[in-house]
Structure 1
Amino acid sequence: MPPRVRPFCLEESRLRPYVPAFDLSFCCCVRASSSKTRGNGPHGTAGPTSWGERMFSKILIANRGEIACRVIRTARRMGIRTVAVFSDADRDALHVAQADEAVHIGPPPAAQSYLLIDRIVAACKQTGAEAVHPGYGFLSERAAFPRALEAEGIVFIGPNPGAIDAMGDKIESKKFAAAAKVSTVPGNLDVIESIDEAVRISDGIGYPVMMKASAGGGGKGMRIAWNAQEVAEGFARAKSEAASSFGDDRMFIEKFIVNPRHIEIQLLGDKHGNVIYLGERECSIQRRNQKVIEEAPSPLLDEATRKAMGEQSVALAKAVGYDSAGTVEFVAGQDRSFFFLEMNTRLQVEHPVTELVTGIDLVEQMIRVAAGEKLSITQADVTLTGWAVESRVYAEDPYRNFLPSTGRLVRYVPPAEGEEDGVTVRNDTGVVEGAEISMFYDPMIAKLVTHAPTRIEAIDAQAKALDAFLIDGIQPNIPFLTALMQHPRWREGRLSTGFIAEEFPDGFTGLSPDEDTKRVLASAAIAMDLVRRERLDNLDGRLRPSSGKWRENWVVRLDREMVPVRVPEGFAAVPIEIDVAVGEGASPVTVTSDWRPGDPLWRGRIGRDEVVVQVRTATSGVLLSHAGVTLFARVMTPEIARLDALMPVKVPPDLSRFLLCPMPGLVVSIAVAEDQEVKAGEVLAVVEAMKMENVLRAERDGKVAKINAKPGDSLAVDAVILEFA
């Protein structure tokens, strides 16, 4: 068995000079030969290669962001030099800084840079890169890419193009699976050209249906429709998203299984006919078909179902001569029945959870397989140890229906990585503080992964790590992720792909604080305030009631609620140690912390509990965030609290007569004209941001008085698109 994956620590590798790895148990740092011979395996599978006994000395990563940084880390450990590619928008990106070399490939839009095969090939030739890792997305599942590389004597670190043709295309993969007698979801596997045809096919299948892009992934180009009208409205949007995201607008339709679970099997194959499965991942927590939380293993499966799904996946992979890391995705019923959905012929976004429960570095295995090595792991070697949970940290505002949030990362403080007391924290990221979150690419900022002996321990570790993940400048989805970790249904493993829609039907407005959360925030607030007061008073040592400056009774305002707090004794300043009683008649508990004014995180112990609270300055107080709850906090004397309660509440202005742009984005279309009467629910405009098209609808009946934007305009958040009379 290969060594277990170490927690990836960004701080160890950031901007570090290239240092060759001389541990020959990991790799042989010998330059790969450019001469190759390929056999004629099934479906174009590569046969044995003359370069199979030599490792690459330099590889190019045809991607950006966190996955490019992820590949660089493993390549560096293997003693392989790396080449990054970048667009104008990524000139100062982290993956560019971490790579040994970097090549500029074009303007920000992916269609003019990362999706251009000739630019990637030219970058390889310019730098002498012997192989290319595609990451995921972009060119990773386009068979033309490995064929173009092969024509230039460059190795593709991924499956052979024949396997990509057979399984990478979602329509063709379903046909192939059906012919191989693999259970598939009922649907129409032919490309659908028009809205009328889509409606007719959907009527025949029966609602609900799923419209999907043939070349899709990541939730792009997908829509669920519950009736013919939703098919008519959603088909064009999905088709347009597919064209802009993948350069391929082919669509197909299949039956949508109600209350399903999304489970996928990780595969690993080599060029010698060996294929194994590395257990499963459950990815049922999704929003708009985009995965939000993943875990391994699945709380649904038993060993018999896991084995059946794994063996079926291996059989399918062997039928197409699959020879790299890949994933077979299934829709599963609550009764553990399962149906083949598709095969992703690439590394998955959620691969870290598999790495942490198996101890196998998938990127390393992909590189070794591409170099012609046989798998050193057999199926009997694969064991699943503990539980791993991954949260996708997106630049999306959960309080505004998850609309994209772009801009500069004014503050970016991820939780510390490493292993302690059997719990591992890993953060795969592609940004640093000061980086710009662009509207041109996927909104993912990082993937936060925790591993622990049990599922609940992994979830609790994830919640604590999310509390310590501080991002300012843009609005991330961290409050929502933290709230999910507290959700009873999630913690019990009662999942489905409809989980978010069912549990948050009106969107996310934040959690209402329970008594325990209020106790935590009030305790942290009084502890911080006393440290500030001690600094302002310029006192040393221990404050005592007899000094005349000590006060036992306080009030902590949490938003509009006044919480009485009693501090019966004095305190030691920094680190602070204080007894605090929150609420009328409550018994005091000991609060300790080494927090100092200006620290963005308050870390401490309240009673027996270790607590992390995010701290942001606000007028006359602070904003405190913990366990998915953010509240304004102000510490006052009881006398001031009585006066504060009399202050009027500021009412926000009425902006209902304006259609405001909900996120920074590009205006795709304006669907109305000036002086036009509109009805509630009618489409007003479409705005694209981060490869997703967002339809803006009228909230009430009205008349359009003025239009302030036109297709092609780039708008800031809250820019006025149109005005109503």
Structure 2
Amino acid sequence: MFKKILIANRGEIACRVIKTARKMGISTVAVYSDADRNALHVQMADEAVHIGPAPANQSYIVIDRIMEAIRATGAEAVHPGYGFLSENSKFAEALAAEGVAFIGPPVRAIEAMGDKITSKKLAAEAGVSTVPGYMGLISDADEAVKISGEIGYPVMIKASAGGGGKGMRIAWTDEEAREGFQSSKNEAASSFGDDRIFIEKFVTQPRHIEIQVLADSHGNTLYLHERECSIQRRNQKVVEEAPSPFLDIATRKAMGEQACALAAAVGYTSAGTVEFIVDGERNFYFLEMNTRLQVEHPVTELITGIDLVEQMIRVAAGEKLPFAQGDIQLNGWAVESRLYAEDPYRNFLPSIGRLSRYRPPVEEASETHAVRNDTGVYEGGEISMYYDPMIAKLCTWAPTRKDAIKDMSVALDRFEVEGIGHNLPFLSAVMEHPKFVSGDITTAFIAEEWPEGFEGVTLPDASIRRVAAAAAAMNRVAEIRRSRVSGRMDNHERKVGGDWVVSLQNQSLAVKVVADPTGSTVTFEDGASMRVKGQWTPGMRLAEMIIDDLPLVLKVEEKTSGFRLRTRGADLRVYVRTPRQAELAELMPEKLPPDTSRLLLCPMPGLVVKINVEEGEEIQEGQALCTIEAMKMENILRAERRGVVSKINAEPGASLSVDQVIMEFE
């Protein structure tokens, strides 16, 4: 077995590999760029080597820099994680030439399956059903438009070397095909150093289901069941689960056997993933094979009990898999939520900055449930604009899908993140959505359910009452504290009245709070009452309450006359006032936000890639105004209405902050 391995990656996946290596008694070497000097993976590893400036194309994907780190530390093997150099055959060749083991598949398999054009041709030759498309190289946008028309819209424009949603666009018209081709090409060149593009038919109403395969060099190729990855936004997976709520036993077996046959055909070893599109009739079509560890691998580990990173290391060391296909169990259900540094209220645009608060839920495991959080950040750390916006992968496991989802909802409520925009509210909204809960999902789920973007969660009346009862009881505790601090009376508790008006989500609820040694009873105006228990005290940022014997987890920020409370994706400004204060509050005028309708504001920190218009130019609704790049993704900003550009305040190459004015209109 290896004594020392180098992880040619960063963030949560580097930390993940280090954990398993440590368990196996293997020393680890981290590599880091200027931006990652204080990163968690650097702190966790036994050794760390600086490899260059912040941009990945000057550090993490520069093969020579990684090879220098290997030589300097004497690492015997390299785990590439995912992204960066994980599917780069030249990197695998360089390692082989140096006599260093690559913890991944052979070069031939990487070249055959890692290239999406080649892999589709090989899959077709092997008799695997594939989606119609054009697998040849496409030279320019005009050819892309011509091919798209021949295939028939809608089409998917994809980077041949792509992955993780990078370099992918869906086009429904010639104009979108032309624009999507250029954006995909630019993203592919920036993210992978390979700008080759191919086009295939976009299957409407599809489900994205993938098979995890694992193979050794002794002729054993197995599948570890499937993962459902249909909850996607901009072709980027957001929520995954294992197994799929859609597959039956026969389809699962057929997909698994095809995946193994394809892997065996190219001499595949190590862990890999064969992705399929599955239609409503459970017909499945080969999409691509990822010749690396997949981001969502934890849900497979949770339902099988197999540590995929450990098996990858053992296979690379020449060991035989210790189990056969019949030994692989499918135990319970696992759900993964990807926590991203993206602001859901700004159309999920990237957010950067310092994590002023980062408190994940406690990790635990038992026979009835498990909570796991794979992360690469810490409180006080920085989220950089140079890399993928993923902060963490929160996973829950339970014997049933219903319980795994319920546990995920509670875990998301317990996850405290402050200082940056993040998608925790959106993830909570997905967990509560009836379609997701029922398993009635496709890859169009997010686009269909939030067509105008995410604007927050509106809680149902029953939930509003539970939050109001909790807020009233918490306010009583806060009032007692204020009385004690002010010294208004020796018997301060008698100064706190029982009649209050709780205002939240456009509702005002009159309540009466009666406390006793074990909790409070909150009675509403209609006579209904709720029993509230909890250990919250002023200053605590998380309140774990029990309302009528059911749990309610609230993120708490104390405000004047009440709180800011967050739960189940809802962000609530809650006022708790005396009846007279509530009466006077009704008379206060509402403060209106400033008018920015004549300004184009930068929606995220990023770099200006292109300005599409000139001063004095008349523009039309939907017209592209400029392109901003952040976290390796290009974002085209469009005109909301007709107008005339009066002033342009930025130029290509400029680095902009959130809400910085890019241009002004007459």
Aligned to 2:393: 447
Give yes or no for contact 2:561–2:577 (8 Å, CA) kept in 1: no
2:299 aligns with 353
Three-state SS of the structure 1 residue aligned to 2:610 is strand
CA distance in 1, matches of 2:38, 2:659: 28
Provide the rounded CA distance (Å) in 2 between the counterparts of 1:190 and 1:109.
31
Q: Is the 8 A contact 2:483 2:495 kept in 1?
A: no
Quickly say closer, same or farther: Cα 1:544–1:538, change in 2 above 3 A. Answer: closer
What's the counterpart of residue 601 of structure 2? 660
CA RMSD, 1 decimal: 1.5
TM-score (norm 2): 0.98
Question: Is residue 476–residue 496 contact of structure 2 (8 Å, CA) maintained in 1?
Answer: no
Q: 1:545 to 1:635 in 2, by over 3 A?
A: farther
* 1:23-68 deviation line (CA, Å, top 9, x unaligned): xxxxxxxxxxxxxxxxxxxxxxxxxxxxxxxx00100000000000
Within 1, Cα distance between the matches of 2:554 and 2:381?
Answer: 24
> Which of 150, 174, 177 is matched with 1:204 structurally?
150
The 5-angstrom pairing of residues 277-292 of structure 1 reads: 277-292=223-238
What are the ranges of 5 or more consecutive residues in structure 1 without an aligned counterpart? Answer: 1-54
Corresponding position of 1:174: 120
Q: Report how far residue 570 of structure 1 moved.
A: 2.9
Matched, 1:269 2:211: no
Distance, in Å, in 1 between the alignment partners of 2:434 and 2:506 is 27
> C-alpha displacement at 1:683, in angstroms?
0.8
- Matched AA of 1:436: E
The partner residue of 1:301 within 243, 247, 256 is 247
Tell me what 1:313 maps to: 259
> Counterpart of 2:556 in structure 1: which amino acid?
V
1:317-356 aligned within 5 A? 317-356=263-302
Moved more, 332-341 or 412-421: 412-421
Confirm whether residue 708 of structure 1 aligns to residue 654 of structure 2.
Answer: no
Q: Is this contact kept in 1: 2:561–2:576, CA < 8 A?
A: no
Secondary structure of the structure 1 residue equivalent to 2:386 = coil
2:495 pairs with 522, 528, 549, which one? Answer: 549
Q: Given residue 580 of structure 1, which amino acid in structure 2 is its aligned partner?
A: V
| SS of residue matched to 2:663 | strand
Q: Report deviation, 1:268.
A: 0.3
Superposition map of 1:612-691 within 5 A: 612-691=553-632
1:519 Cα offset (Å): 1.6
Q: Which residue is equivalent to 2:372?
A: 426
Change (3 A) 1:422 1:547: closer
Of 580, 587, 600, the residue aligned with 2:541 is 600
What is the CA deviation profile of residues 518-565 of structure 1, one whole-angstrom value per residue up to 9, with x for unaligned ones? 12221221122111111122299xx99997524222111215421212
Equivalent in 25, 28, 42 of residue 79 of structure 1? 25
Question: Who is 1:122 aligned against?
Answer: 68
Task: Report if aligned partners of 1:665, 1:687 keep a CA contact under 8 Å in 2.
Answer: yes
Indicate yes or no: 2:92 matched with 1:151.
no
Q: 1:302 to 1:641 in 2, by over 3 A?
A: same
- Find out whether 1:528 has 2:470 as its counterpart: no
CA contact (8 A) 2:483 2:492 kept: no
1:619 Cα deviation from its structure 2 partner: 4.4
Deviates more, 1:531-540 or 1:455-464: 531-540
Whether the 8 Å CA contact 2:63–2:91 is kept in 1: the answer is yes
Q: Compared with structure 1, are the counterparts of its residues 644 and 247 closer, same or farther at alpha carbon in structure 2 (3 Å cutoff)?
A: same
Q: Is 1:68 paired with 2:14? A: yes
CA contact (8 A) 2:621 2:641 kept: yes
For residues 136 and 509 of structure 1, the distance between their equivalents in structure 2, rounded to whole angstroms, comes to 32
Per-residue Cα deviation, 1:71-114 (whole angstroms, up to 9, x for no partner) = 00000000001000000000000000000000000000000000
1:672/1:378 CA distance change after superposition, 3 Å: same
Aligned to 1:375, which of 311, 321, 327? 321
Deviations 1:268-293 (A, max 9, x none): 00111111000000000000000000
C-alpha contact (below 8 Å) 1:671/1:685 kept by paired residues: yes
Q: Give the distance between the partners of 1:70 and 1:220, measured in 2 at CA.
A: 23
How far does the alpha carbon of each residue in 1:178-200 deviate from its partner, in whole angstroms, 9 at most, with x for none?
Answer: 11111100100101111111111
Counterparts in 2 of 1:409 and 1:577: CA distance versus 1, 3 Å = same
2:112 matches 1:195: no
Deviation at 1:204, TM superposition (A): 0.7
C-alpha separation in 1, matches of 2:187 and 2:561: 45
SS in 1 for 2:515: coil
The alpha-carbon distance between structure 1 residues 586 and 145, as it changes in their structure 2 partners (threshold 3 A), is farther
Q: Report the 3-state secondary structure (helix = DSSP H, G, I; strand = E; otherwise coil) of the residue aligned with 2:520.
A: strand
Q: Which of the numbers 69, 85, 91 marks the counterpart of 1:139?
A: 85
Q: Which amino acid aligns with 1:723?
A: E
C-alpha distance in 2 between matches for 1:379 and 1:74: 23
- For 1:620 and 1:544, locate their aligned partners in 2 and report how far apart those are by CA, in whole Å: 24
C-alpha distance in structure 2 between counterparts of 1:415 and 1:547, whole Å: 34
Q: Distance in 2 between matches of 1:599 and 1:715?
A: 36
Contact 1:554 1:637 in 2 (8 A): yes
Distance 2:525 2:211 in 1: 54
Whether contact under 8 Å (2:351, 2:421) holds in the other structure is yes
Q: TM-score, normalization: structure 1?
A: 0.90
Q: Are residues 1:472 and 2:418 paired? A: yes
Distance in 1 separating the partners of 2:296 and 2:425 = 20
The reply to whether residue 398 of structure 1 matches residue 339 of structure 2 is no
Which residue number in structure 2 is paired with residue 38 of structure 1?
A: none
